[in-house]
Structure 1
Amino acid sequence: MSVPTTPGSAVTDLLGLVALGELLAFERMAGDARLAPDLRRRAALGEMAAAEIANYRRLADRLGALGVAPEEAMAPYVTALQAYHDSTEPRDWAEAVTKAYVGDAITDDFIREIAVALDGPDRELVLDVLHESRYAEFAAAEIRVAVEADPRVADRLSMWARRLVGEALSQAGRVAAADRGALTALIAQGGRVDASALFRQLTAAHTARMAAAGLNN
Structure 2
Amino acid sequence: MEDNVISDAVIKETARHLLPRLGAAGLSLAAVAGDGGFALADVEAVFPHRDDLLTALVIDAYDASAAAMEQADRAALEAGAPSGARLLAVTRALRQWSFAHPGEFTLVYGSPVPGYHAPQDTVMPASRTPVVLAGIVRSALAAGELTPPRRALSGTPLLLPAAVELFGGVPEAPFSDVIERGIVLWSNLIGLLVFQVFNRTHDSVKDEAAFFDYAVAVAAESIGLTVPLDGDPRA
Q: TM-score, structure 2 length as denominator? A: 0.29
Q: TM-score, structure 1 length as denominator? A: 0.31
Larger radius of gyration: 2
Return the structure number with greater relative CO, CA threshold 8 A, min gap 6: 1
Greater percentage in helix: 1
